Amino acid sequence: MTTTQGNLAGLSQYVFRTPRWYTSLSFVLVVAAVTGIAVFDTAVVLGDVWQGVFFVGVSTVVASGLTSVVDGWLGGRLTPNRSSFLALTCEVIVVVTLVAAGVIARLTQFVGPVGPVPVLGQNFVFDALLVGLASIFGVRLFVLMSVSRHRPVLAAIPAAVQTVVAAVLLFVYSGTLRYFEVSRLSGPLVDAYLARQEQAPEEFLVVVPKDFLLLAVLCGLYAVAVVAFVRVIDRPWQRSLDVSVLDFVGGFVGHMAEDTDELESFFEEIGEEAVVPVSVLSARRPDGEETFRLVLPMIHPGPMGEIGGGALPVRLARDTDGLCLPPHATAGHDFNLVTDREVDTVLATVEEARDRIEFETGATRSVRTSVGDATVTGQAVGDDLLVVTTFAPGYADDVEYSVGLSAAAEARSSGFEDVMVVDAHNCNDGLSDGDLGHVVPGSTRSFDLMRAVEAAAEELTDAPREPVRAGVAWTRTEWTPEDGVGPLGVRVAALEVDDQTTLYVLVDGNNMEPGVRGRLVDAVTALDGVDRAEVMTTDNHLVNAVDSENQVGDRVDVDRLAAVVESAARDALTDRKPVEVGMATEHAEVTVFGNDRTETLASTANAMVSMGFALAGVVALAAVSLSIIVFLLL
């Protein structure tokens, strides 16, 4: 993950789960009641509360229930939870606007001969109310356009609900109808339902018919501002990705707020077809029972949470009879699966590879080679080769897809058929440094990696194949993804060949803090009978649902983790029994983000955020300035 991508993932910290609709409604009534106490003066507190709940809360409650219904009729996707929270947010905007106007009016009054004389009176406060009602229409319009992907004209219908209901209440309880009094309209029913100024606070009596014209003009002005804002920030997205920013905003918020799959629909639009190798190394008992399966699709398990292939390691483990070890492959974020459905294709390919395996009783002892910063642990299984690569104690993140393919090609040139190149992904210093350790084509470390793999392959080509004993162990651990450890916990496979035992330790997490890998390797190699060990992570992005930096060892005590790994290693050593082993590779056709798409998406989104706030401020200032001009003209 680059710094740009990390900044994008870090935006998730500003998004939270949408509260249930009844929770939002409870806050609606509380805010309305408190506002009533602060604004109205009926000499009875309960009277103030009632007026607040009625005059402030009714429009919010109606909008809370009606917006999602109207939006649904128009084919939108606004849920009741979002509808209620949106209504509550808009209520708060109106209340804050009124409070600010009241404070300004109080501060600008001066003391005359007969007492305080207001410079900005009740009309100013009411004008602020009109601005607040128009503002929430603009906010709701933007949200409805983003979430439900309506055109502005259609989005304006559900967006106007809260403002319209508030305007109707003002019309009725201000007695505005009296300005239109004609004989054919007068009567008890009209007076009872459309002219109820006697039951309203005296502050409402300042309302005149032109105020509703002002409100309509302001709503139109704010709608134009919102549409213009969207058009401006949408242009870079259309040019670079040929999609709308509203698709991304709606999908991102939907995923983070309510765990929907809307974001996957956006990723599908920008995705590209790719062919990826899927390698499977399996060990089974003589009776056919599978002991463990090491599964390596050349896919990146991202981008975050369970979106796309974020939960790929978990899905692979669930679909395996024996203990599954799904380490990280040599692939970056450009090889994120666009939807969770693509995982099904990968799983089907895994089974195809597993069915094609020709099991043998022989494997080689493991070897370790180092070239430059790269260290490789290799072990041949028949005519196939397993290599695990690391740059520890140096810092490294993802090894690019083409580098992994090139390394595998180097090994095949030594006579191996199928080659599984694992990125141990076990030492990085996070996103704080400008050099994030990506192993990219043409870099010195890419050639170090290829030469180290080639050296291991040459050493193992003619090495004797001996009977294999294997044992496995799985500790789920007490940690959660918030701690940096996923549901697969700690998994260990012990392979014994010719009195040499090699441990493959897998921790379900996204990379490791510097020094953690060395601490774990030292802990297990100190055990009797262990000759060599390597520690890997799954790069499971479940741990990055909220925090883009959540590496193993960041929030987990390393000594406790070492004790867990050591205990699992002991269990795996005890479990060793004779096995047959084999490897096979198949290819899956899947839709991934595509070349450079991830960086383009991240850079465009980050630019939108950095410029969007400034642009939004300019648009808001312009809208307020025009509002003042409208008030002066009308």
| pLDDT at position 555 over 60 | yes
482 and 446, same structural domain? yes
Lowest-pLDDT choice from 1-5, 451-455, 536-540: 1-5
Q: What is the mean pLDDT of residues 393-419?
A: 94
Within-domain flag for 1: no
Residue 109 has a pLDDT of: 64
Residue 8 forms part of a structural domain:
no
Q: Is the pLDDT of residue 435 over 60?
A: no
* pLDDT for res 14: 47
Specify the pLDDT at position 193. Answer: 47
Model confidence over 466-485: pLDDT tens digits? Answer: 999 999 999 999 999 999 99
Cβ 627 vs Cβ 134: under 8 Å: yes
Residue 329 burial by CB count (10 A; 0-12/13-18/19+): exposed, middle or buried? Answer: buried
276 and 256 housed in the same domain: no
Nearest CA to 519 out of 627, 606, 625, 392 is that of 392
Phi, psi of 335 (to 5 degrees): -105, 30
Residue where one domain finishes, among candidates 578, 593, 608: 593
Type of residue found at 351? E
237/250 Cα distance (integer angstroms): 14
Give the chain's end-to-end CA distance (angstroms, integer). Answer: 55
Same domain, 236 and 381: no
* Residue 122 pLDDT grade (very low, low, confident, very high; cuts 50, 70, 90): low
Segment among 94-98, 150-154, 199-203 with least mean pLDDT: 199-203
Top mean-pLDDT range of 3-12, 86-95, 387-396: 387-396
Give the side-chain half-sphere CA count within 13 A for 566: 15
Domain membership flag for residue 97 = yes
266 inside domain: no
Bridge-based pairing state of the strands 272-284 and 367-371: unpaired
Q: What is the pTM of this model?
A: 0.76
Question: Token pair 């990379």 is at which residue?
Answer: 511
Q: How many CA atoms lie within 13 A of 327 on its CB side?
A: 30
Residue 324 confidence (pLDDT) above 60: yes
CB 383 within 8 A of CB 627: no
pLDDT category of residue 113 using cuts at 50, 70 and 90: low
**309 lies in the same domain as 195:** no
pLDDT at 442 over 90: yes
Split at pLDDT 50, 70, 90, the class of 202 is: low
Q: What is the pLDDT of residues 228-255, one digit of tens each?
A: 988 888 887 787 777 787 777 777 767 6
Above 70 in pLDDT, residue 433?
no
Taking the C-alpha atoms of residue 294 and residue 281, their distance in angstroms, rounded to an integer, is 5
pLDDT for 173 beyond 90: no
**Region of poorest pLDDT, from 115-119, 138-142, 193-197, 408-412:** 193-197
Shared domain check, 247 and 101:
yes
List the helix and strand counts (H, then E) for the chain: 19, 16
State whether residue 533 is helix, strand or coil: strand
User: What is the model's pLDDT at position 116?
Assistant: 58
Q: Verify that 612 and 553 share a domain, yes or no.
A: no
Range of the domain at 402: 272-593
Q: Are residues 323 and 458 in the same domain?
A: yes
* Structure-model confidence comparison of residues 102 and 565, the more confident one: 565
Residue among 279, 280, 293 nearest 470 (CA):
293
Token pair recorded at residue 104: 């300004």
Residue at 267 is within a domain: no
Q: Is 322 exposed, middle or buried (0-12, 13-18, 19+ CB in 10 A)?
A: middle
Whether residues 444 and 477 fall in one domain: yes
Mean pLDDT of 219-228: 92
**420 and 492 housed in the same domain:** yes
Q: Quick one: pLDDT at residue 276?
A: 96
- Give 126 or 71, the one with higher predicted confidence: 71
Rounded Cα distance between 432 and 444, Å, is 22
- Compute the distance between CA of residue 89 and CA of residue 359 in angstroms, rounded to an integer: 63
**Does residue 611 belong to any structural domain of this protein?**
yes
Does the pLDDT at position 491 exceed 80?
yes
Average pLDDT, the chain: 84
pLDDT the model gives residue 115: 54
Is the domain of 332 the same as that of 464? yes
pLDDT at 592 over 50: yes
The 10 Å CB-count burial string (b at 16+, else e) for 241-270 is bebbbbbbbbbbbbbbbeebbbbbbbbeeb
- Residue 280 is predicted with a pLDDT of 97
Is the CB of residue 118 less than 8 Å from the CB of residue 109?
yes
Cα–Cα distance, 510 to 237 (Å, whole number): 29
Q: What is the pLDDT of residue 183?
A: 42
What confidence score (pLDDT) does residue 549 get?
77
Whole-angstrom CA distances from 552 to 296, 424, 440, 538 are: 21, 13, 24, 11
Q: Which two tokens stand for residue 457?
A: 């392959």
Domains of the chain: total: 2
Give yes or no: residues 192 and 300 share one domain.
no
Q: 48 or 257: which carries more pLDDT confidence?
A: 48
pLDDT above 90 coverage of the chain, percent? 52
Continuous H helices in 575-596: none
Tokens 């870090």 locate to: 10
Q: CA dihedral defined by 576, 577, 579, 583, rounded to 10 degrees?
A: -10
Q: How far apart are CA 476 and CA 261, in angstroms?
A: 28
Task: Give the residue-averaged pLDDT of 180-207.
Answer: 53
In a domain, 241, yes or no: yes
Q: Is the pLDDT of residue 198 over 70?
A: no
Per residue in 16-45, pLDDT tens? 567 888 888 888 888 888 887 776 656 667
Burial-class residue 342 by CB neighbours within 10 Å (0-12, 13-18, 19+).
buried
pLDDT of residue 472: 97
Q: In 108-160, which ranges are continuous DSSP H helix? A: 122-148, 152-159
- How far does Cα 241 stand from its chain's mean position? 19
Residue 3 lies in a domain: no
CA distances from 1 to 407, 434, 549 (A): 21, 11, 10
CA separation for the pair 160, 158 (Å, rounded): 5
Provide mean pLDDT across the span 138-158: 90
Contact partners, residue 292, CB within 8 Å, separation at least 6:
282, 283, 322, 323, 324, 325, 470, 472, 493
What does the pLDDT read at residue 99? 82
Domain co-membership, 149 together with 89: yes
